[in-house]
Structure 1
Amino acid sequence: MDAMPNHSHGFSPVPGVERCGKLSLSTKNKVCLGITILGVVLVVTAVVVRVLWPQAPKHKEWKGMGSTPHFSEIVLGRCYTYTQVLRPELRHKDCQKIRKAFMNAFLSKDPCGSTEQDYQPLMELTNQSVPCHKTVLWSKSSELAHQYTGNLRDMFTLEDTLLGYIADGLTWCGDESSSEMNYESCPHWKEDCRTNTLSVFWNTVSKRFAENACGVVQVVLNGSISNTFDKNSHSCSSPSINDLKLILNRRNITFTCQDDYWPIKLLQCVKSPEHALCSSAA
């Protein structure tokens, strides 16, 4: 007697099509029909879901780098670090509301159509008073200016304030056709548009920071580069610094300039003690 094919245990290559196990005829037909209908329903359901489930819209491509990964989490973490550790006098600030206001300022909006009004709710939530005589402005001298305020904790650059600290070094933008951030690219201020989310933000907060300054305001400029103040400049006696002095005098702002300001020079010498200007005879 020939051996039976190895089709035991009631299985077949396509369940519900060739055989359905050792059941009575009527029961088998019902089970087979049920399995077959179920398979059809699953296929139809998969097709319907694929049709009804919309694909995420593709973000527009820009020339600048995309949003910083984990942007929302970084904003929240920096807010808590600043208000709970660095400046506990601001512990009453609501970091959850600050994060939400920051995200609302640019999500689902044209990244080349940003305005100052977009950031007003955020600026109100992060409002912070800097004591008179404690403001430090800088241009093209970021590292040195922050070394200076880092050693004198009662001095403030914009990045030493709550909002500046939160946003420093980050990139962000959204898209008017999506509620998500664009992590692929964001508008470049030169090649795409000047009214982008990043440029408008820093222009807005810088303007507020400067307008709120009172008393003596220190400005750290790099006199070793060719465009310290929009023109060639290498010292306090240079034409461009004189232009700055004239502008401030017209606004009744007293102006003094000091080459190699000693506290700044000291920081530079700590970093590069071998430099000729750092010798005892310099």
Structure 2
Amino acid sequence: MPLQNRSSKTRRRTILLVIIMVLIVTIVAVLAAVLLANETKETSRQLLQWKGRGTTKNLQEVILGRCYNYITTVNPELRWRNRGTRQDVTCPQTPSKAVAEPGIEPRDKDCQNIWETMQKAFIYKNPCNITTEDYQPLLDLTSHPIPCNKSLFWSKTNDLVHRYTKTSHNFLTLEDTLLGYMADGVSWCGNPSSPGINYESCPKWSECESNPSSVYWKMASKMFAEAACGVVQVMLNGSIEAGAFRSNSIFGSIEIFNLDPDKVSTVQIWLMQNIGGPASESCTGRSITRLKSILEERNLRVSCEDNYRPVQLLQCASDPDHADCRLCTNSVQ
């Protein structure tokens, strides 16, 4: 009997020890899981901390709405298949139009596919690791011909240049193309953790070079410049103290180097100063001289005009009595 009692006590001790060990392991596992979860949450919070504004609310609806509006009212010619259009790149005086080839049926750009392709480029991705390969399928879907003699580039004249294109209807900026029209003024970026899109903050261009916005606009700008033909225009700001032409701008670093000298005959510079000044630079200024040199080295003819009158008249609409807005008249004695 004593042996049986000792054996029974030993088994009870063994079972108790096993239970205690299981409890300890369970507690350790729970603590580790909690710590890991907190660490993951902390990492997620760190990913959200950028200096730029977050993804535009209702981004999908904004992009889809703009896409449908563009192909139905802004540029209904896009109802033709892109691969079924041709454009005369000989650049006659009258801008050419896309001409449908025989046997090609009209078909809208697929806006739903465009949105899904755009979303795939950045969703669930680190917003500082976006590549040109991410956006290339989107560019392939949205590309369309640009009529010769209508391309208008700009730098530091955002409001003025788009007021002008909206009133004159004679020129197209990047923002007047499908790719630019959809994304103008919109912000977006991804997040590696759920829900995959960061609505709180996105990186500014200065925080990391390969963020969704900068990669998008650089690729769009390159494509816009490559499509230009005939006489092209560029509107620059002559009231900037640092100089109208900046080599680190999108125009100065990307667009001028992707103009094709075999397609572009002349670059016309419109150097616009603010009504009332300051007149920091003219067509003979240092930065404009540098720009002319760069273009001429690429075998492009260049002309420059201070305060191109049609644009200046638009500026004067808000201050018609200013001295800069008075028309010159010849007095007869």
Matched residue, 1:262: 309
1:230 partner amino acid: R
- Residue 216 (structure 1) aligned with residue 231 (structure 2): yes
1:277 partner amino acid: D
8 Å Cα contact 2:125/2:196 also seen in 1: no
- Residue 197 (structure 1) aligned with residue 230 (structure 2): no
Matched residue, 2:71: 83
CA distance in structure 2 between the aligned counterparts of 1:198 and 1:270, rounded to whole angstroms: 33
CA distance in structure 2 between the aligned counterparts of 1:230 and 1:84, rounded to whole angstroms: 37
1:65 partner amino acid: R
Larger mean CA deviation between 116-125 and 84-93 belongs to 84-93
- Residue 109 (structure 1) aligned with residue 125 (structure 2): yes
Matched residue, 1:65: 53
Aligned length: 229
- Residue 97 (structure 1) aligned with residue 85 (structure 2): no
Percent of aligned pairs sharing the same letter? 50
8 Å Cα contact 1:233/1:240 also seen in 2: no
Of the candidates 147, 165, 172, which is equivalent to residue 156 of structure 1? Answer: 172
Structure 1: segments with no counterpart, 5+ residues: 1-50
- Residue 238 (structure 1) aligned with residue 253 (structure 2): no
8 Å Cα contact 1:67/1:185 also seen in 2: yes
1:217 partner amino acid: V
- Residue 250 (structure 1) aligned with residue 319 (structure 2): no
Task: State the 1:72 CA deviation.
Answer: 0.8
Matched residue, 2:14: none
CA distance in structure 2 between the aligned counterparts of 1:220 and 1:104, rounded to whole angstroms: 34
Runs of 4+ that moved beyond 4 A: 54-57
8 Å Cα contact 2:245/2:287 also seen in 1: yes
Task: State the 1:179 CA deviation.
Answer: 4.5
Of the candidates 129, 132, 145, which is equivalent to residue 161 of structure 2? Answer: 145
CA distance in structure 2 between the aligned counterparts of 1:203 and 1:265, rounded to whole angstroms: 29
Matched residue, 2:94: none
Task: State the 1:176 CA deviation.
Answer: 2.2
8 Å Cα contact 1:233/1:241 also seen in 2: no
TM-score by length of 2: 0.65
Aligned with 1:271: secondary structure?
A: coil
Task: State the 1:180 CA deviation.
Answer: 2.5
Aligned with 2:303: secondary structure?
A: coil
Task: State the 1:89 CA deviation.
Answer: 1.4
Matched residue, 2:240: 225
**Over aligned residues, Cα RMSD in angstroms?**
2.1
Aligned with 1:255: secondary structure?
A: strand
1:261 partner amino acid: Y
8 Å Cα contact 1:133/1:214 also seen in 2: yes
